[in-house]
Every structure is written in structure tokens, then in C-alpha cells.
Amino acid sequence: MRRLSLPVITSALSLFLLLASCNQSSTSETSQDGEGKKLVVGATMLSMQNEFIVNVHDEMDKEAQKAGIELITVDAERSALKQVEQVESFIAQKVDAIIMNPCEVEASSPAVAKALAAKIPIINVNSETSSKPSAFVGSDDVESARIAMKFIADKLGGKGNVVMMHGYMGQAAQIKREQGAREILKQYPNLKLLAHQTGEWDRAKSMSLMENWIQSYGSQINAVFAHNDEMGLGAVKALTDAGLKDKVIVVSIDAIPDALQAVKKGSLDATVFQNAEQQGAKAIETAIKAAKRQQFDKETLVPFQLVTKDNLSKFLK
């Protein structure tokens, strides 16, 4: 057997230690840069049965894939209690950031406090809570209702009877859209709020509500303001079935594809465009920056726009 001389053994050992050292250094640098660990963002959404919320989430998912992060999405099914539990679960999973589409202003607020106490950034998207999150991405819901009710006031010449369909009671969008509508109503003393009730953001429930109002008020109704398009389209269907749509103005909010087609056909008089894509994209962008402890905007407001037949082509895809 041939024996290796001591210098050869020493050289080989030195080379081994050098390679091991380089490998260790490389692993350490990857970990410090965050490249070796995929960011995980948890998202709890108000309701994945709501088309607008689905549109916001789809954009979040698209942006998450582009950025190479993992997005874990859960459906709160309109339950603030469930939403708080979902955030608790995200905290237990030690996600890097949380995006919450709040079910309610007050009842979803404990989720914010719990996330912040766990030192996990939480971003509210589309809707608000009374507890202040790390950041908010959405639009000014008061302004959306002002736009919608002003359109109604102009069309009716400042005189007539309006019914208003509320969203899910206690949610920020419902509270603020009612506020904006009432601000405009105060400016027009001859514009009367005949009735108002929740349609829970739902098309079928709002169709039934409109049928009840038709039975109660009939031809007294001059306009309908619905807090979202799903409810507006439910109202349109009930009015059409009753042969009254030609005599009643219907305006809603969100500019979902069905609503844009209804504006095109003339059955829905107007909708107010809320940019789901920008809200979703900005929510992910903010969550990533917050997770990486980079600077981020504490509030991002995406503007609303009135959509009528006159400018419809800008919004049709």
C-alpha cells in the first residue's frame, strides 16, 4: 500500500476546510438575504361568494405568483368571529404578513390587535376596522356614494323618492356609503329617502327586497341606490319583471362585468367603478414590503369613477 506524505494530507485537509467554509458562508448569505426562505402571506377575505371580492383576491393571487411568495387564502364567509379565528391561525403558523378584508368595522378589530401584538404586519384591503392596522389599501367609500347619489339627484332634477339598499350591516363600506348618500340627500330637500334596508350585498336577497318595496310603494319609487352591483342587478330584475324599470333609475357601485353589460343594455343607469385589480395588487405589494421591514405607504386610496353609457368603452375589457 502506498502511503501519502504529510504535506499531501495537510494540503487535502486545507482544501476540504476551505470548501466547507465557502459553502457555509454561501448558505448563511442566502438566509440573510431572505432568498432561501419563501415569504408566506395569509389572507382572510370577507366572502368568496362576492364577485368584487373574488376580483380583488384574483389580483392578489396573480401578484403573489409574480413575486414568488406563498399566499394562503381563507374565506371568512361574512363571519367576523371566524375571521378573528383565521387570523389567530395565521399567527400560530408564523406567517410573514397578513392581509385582511374585514367583515365588520368593530367585530373584526380584535384580529388587528392580535396580529400587531404578535409583531406580524396586517394590511386591511377594501374595507376598514376601528383598530388601526399596519396599512390600509382601498378606496374612499363615502366618495363612491356621493358620486352615485349626485347622479340620481341630477337625473331627477333634485326631486323624487329614492330607496337605498345597504350592504352587510356594520361593514365599513355599508357605513360609509350610507354616510355619503345622506350627505347628498341633505343638499336636496325635495329628494326623499322613501325606504332603506340591507340586501347583504346579495343579488337574490335584493331582488326579493325590491319586490317587497314595489308592493309597498309601487309607482312612488323614482330611483334605487344600491351599495353594490349585485344588489343593483337584483333591483333591476325585480323592476323589469314588474314592468317598472323604464320609470325607475338604478345606480350601484363596483362596475363588475355583469353591471357593465347592464349599463351597455340600458337596464342599469350607472355604476361607480371601484378598481379591484389595483386594490389587490397594492395589498400584496404593501404586505411584501412590510414583511421585509421596508418602507411602505400606510394608506393607499384608489379613486372611484362614474360609469355611464357615455364613457362605458373605457371600462369594458
Per-residue confidence of the chain (317 residues) as pLDDT tens digits? 344 443 433 344 343 433 344 443 332 222 233 456 899 999 999 999 988 999 999 999 999 999 999 999 999 999 999 999 999 999 999 999 999 999 999 999 999 999 999 999 999 999 999 999 999 999 999 999 999 999 999 999 999 999 999 999 988 899 999 999 999 999 999 999 999 999 999 999 999 999 999 999 999 999 999 999 999 999 999 999 999 999 999 999 999 999 999 999 999 999 999 999 999 999 999 999 999 999 999 999 999 999 999 999 999 97
Question: For position 1, what pLDDT does the model report?
Answer: 39
Question: For position 85, what pLDDT does the model report?
Answer: 98
Query: How many Å apart are CA 251 and CA 263, to the nearest integer?
Result: 10
User: Is residue 190 a contact partner of residue 222, using CB atoms and an 8 Å limit?
Assistant: no
Query: How many Å apart are CA 275 and CA 156, to the nearest integer?
Result: 28
The three grid cell numbers given for residue 42, joined into one nine-digit string: 395569509
β 191-198/223-226 pair status: unpaired
pTM over cut 0.75: yes
Query: How many Å apart are CA 215 and CA 21, to the nearest integer?
Result: 82
Q: Is 268 helix (H, G, I), strand (E, B) or coil?
A: coil
> 495537510: which residue's cell?
10
